Amino acid sequence: MVTIRAIIDHLAAVAPPVYQEGYDNAGLIVGDASQACTGVITCLDSTEAVVAEAVAKGCNLIVAHHPIVFRGLKQFTGRTYVERVVMAAIRHGIAIYAIHTNLDNVYAQGVNGRIAARLGLVNTRILAPQATLKRATIWTEAAQADALKAALTGAITGPQLPATAIRQLSLGDRADQAVSIRLEVVYAIGQHQALGRVLADFPEADVIYSEISNVNPLTGAGLVGDLAAPMSEMAFLQHLKEQMQVGCVKYTGLRGENVQTVALCGGAGGFLLPQAKAAGAQFFVTADYKYHEFFDAEAQIIIADIGHYESEQFTIDLLAEIIREKFGNFAVHLTAVNTNPVNYL
């Protein structure tokens, strides 16, 4: 039996909720995680139509990129679409799990990595890395050191850390006179629970946690990479339009240069414009730019706004792939509902 908890635990291992932005509400929003999962619908937005689709397909878990609830709800009268979605999900026993800016902020299997892959970018790296590393200094008995090191290596090796960072620094005496080994472990904050589970099996170990100011190159906002071969600005715009399957692109003035380096951020990424310029990108691909914000390009870079839904639409496929890699024979459906609230004429 595959439970809802098992599926969302796997999603949380790929994109730990601790990486979400402060304003976000990623995680389990509606539902009982202990239930057996009968099927999954992946989508960008949890709408009434998506809940109805889940009911029709016999799925009791919706995995959405955007949280249906950002702020607290004080009443459930069905007055707003948010209230109606939550009420319908509860009525039909459907859980809703959101995986939002935490999925934006991981390099491996993240939203921006999917965009970069569609655009054919190489040499990709996080545009604005975050300081998500911590250090654990551990004292353990010498006889347990090898076993502890092996357990730690297995627990914290993963896509959120450039390399397993465990150092054996010294042999000395603890206050209780027992001969002990000092280990230093550098790990990503998303691995803190895994580290704690390992240490629970070694109760004789003493640990001190400390912050590290260094940024983690595998977590953070946005992405920057290079085209395999330079192309003209208009050729890149056409390439962007085709690969992202968009009807139109809003962009600032052309600069008459070949395009080699491209910065990007799925969804509303205007806050990353300074980093895109600093990275030497010729283009910054994102969404949700306001009129006056386009002037901030200052003829130093070309801003290309492809629309919020359009920039993240392939996240639906990404979520299904992440689930299927662990639960290969499980019923995972990409929503057939176009949840984009914006139409173009």
Report the top-level CATH class of 133-214.
Answer: alpha beta
Residue spans per domain, the chain? 4-100+314-334, 111-128+220-306, 133-214
User: Taking 80 as the threshold, does the pLDDT of residue 154 lie above it?
Assistant: no
Q: Which residue has the higher pLDDT, 251 or 178?
A: 251
User: Taking 90 as the threshold, does the pLDDT of residue 160 lie above it?
Assistant: no
66-70, 134-138, 201-205, range with greatest mean pLDDT: 66-70
Cα distance between the two ends of the chain: 47
Q: What are 326's two structure tokens?
A: 């662990």
| CA–CA dist 243, 246 (Å, integer) | 8
Q: What are 162's two structure tokens?
A: 């450039």
User: Taking 90 as the threshold, does the pLDDT of residue 210 lie above it?
Assistant: no
pLDDT in tens, 13-63: 999 999 999 999 999 999 999 999 999 999 999 999 999 999 999 999 999
Average pLDDT, integer, range 231-238? 98
Of 58, 78, 61, the C-alpha closest to 7 is: 61
| CA–CA dist 242, 229 (Å, integer) | 17
Same topology for domains 111-128+220-306 and 133-214, yes or no?
no
For residue 157, what pLDDT is reported? 65
| CA–CA dist 327, 13 (Å, integer) | 14
The alpha carbon of residue 319 and the mean position of all alpha carbons in its chain are separated, in whole angstroms, by 10
User: Taking 60 as the threshold, does the pLDDT of residue 324 lie above it?
Assistant: yes
Of 21, 15, 100, the C-alpha closest to 272 is: 21
Average pLDDT, integer, range 107-133? 94
For residue 326, what pLDDT is reported? 94
For residue 146, what pLDDT is reported? 82
For residue 3, the 8-state DSSP code is B
The alpha carbon of residue 180 and the mean position of all alpha carbons in its chain are separated, in whole angstroms, by 39
Q: Which range has the worst mean pLDDT, 88-92, 217-221, 240-244?
A: 217-221
pLDDT-derived band at 73, boundaries 50, 70, 90: confident
Q: Which residue has the higher pLDDT, 240 or 147?
A: 240
Residues in the chain: 345
Q: What is the pTM of this model?
A: 0.88
Q: Which range has the worst mean pLDDT, 125-129, 148-152, 206-210, 294-298?
A: 148-152
pLDDT-derived band at 234, boundaries 50, 70, 90: very high
For residue 159, what pLDDT is reported? 65
For residue 243, what pLDDT is reported? 98
pLDDT in tens, 161-183: 555 566 665 555 555 555 678 88
CATH 3.40.1390.30 fits 111-128+220-306, yes or no: yes
Strand-pair category, 40-43 with 332-334? parallel
| CA–CA dist 57, 51 (Å, integer) | 10
Mean of all residue pLDDT scores within the chain: 91
For residue 207, what pLDDT is reported? 87
CATH of 4-100+314-334, one of 3.40.50.150, 3.40.1390.30, 3.40.190.10, 3.40.1080.20: 3.40.1390.30
Place of tokens 């004429």: 345
Q: Is 315 exposed, middle or buried (0-12, 13-18, 19+ CB in 10 A)?
A: buried
User: Taking 80 as the threshold, does the pLDDT of residue 312 lie above it?
Assistant: yes
For residue 19, what pLDDT is reported? 92
**Residues forming beta bridges with residue 302, ordered by sequence position:** 283
| CA–CA dist 289, 306 (Å, integer) | 10
